[in-house]
Amino acid sequence: MSQIVSVDVKHNLGAEEAKRRVQAGVEALRQKYAGHLSALRIDWSETRGDVTFAILGHSLKGAMEFFPDVVRVSVELPWVLALIADKAKGLMTRHTGEMLQLPPPKA
């Protein structure tokens, strides 16, 4: 049985700026985990990014929702990976926070 893991990462950037910074940070994340993360795809809409990727041989899906003061990140973990749900929450919170602290992308 799968488990949805969700975290809210607070910020004071506004939804649009938070989304821009996360978009800019995704490439760094892709490079950092190149050996473990594959098939990363994000379909962006105005206030959301729908994510699909493969890690440790498992296909996962999730979403990032951008609000004026919070980015909500959620991933559906298959039962095998649900055992590491707490670690996944920590990674999601840390990486999203790091992306939000990036300098604003150049226009």
Look up the CATH number of domain 3-100: 3.30.530.20
| Sequence ranges of the domains in the chain | 3-100
pLDDT of residue 107: 60
Full-model pTM: 0.86
> What is the pLDDT averaged over residues 81-101?
90
* Whole-angstrom Cα Rg for the chain: 13
List of residues 6+ apart from 15 with CB closer than 8 A? 47, 66, 67, 68
19-78 tens-digit pLDDT: 999 998 888 888 888 777 778 899 999 999 999 998 878 899 999 999 999 999 999 998
Band (pLDDT 50/70/90 cuts) for residue 98 is: very high
Exposure class string for 91-103: b at 16+ Cβ within 10 A, else e: bbeebbeebbeee
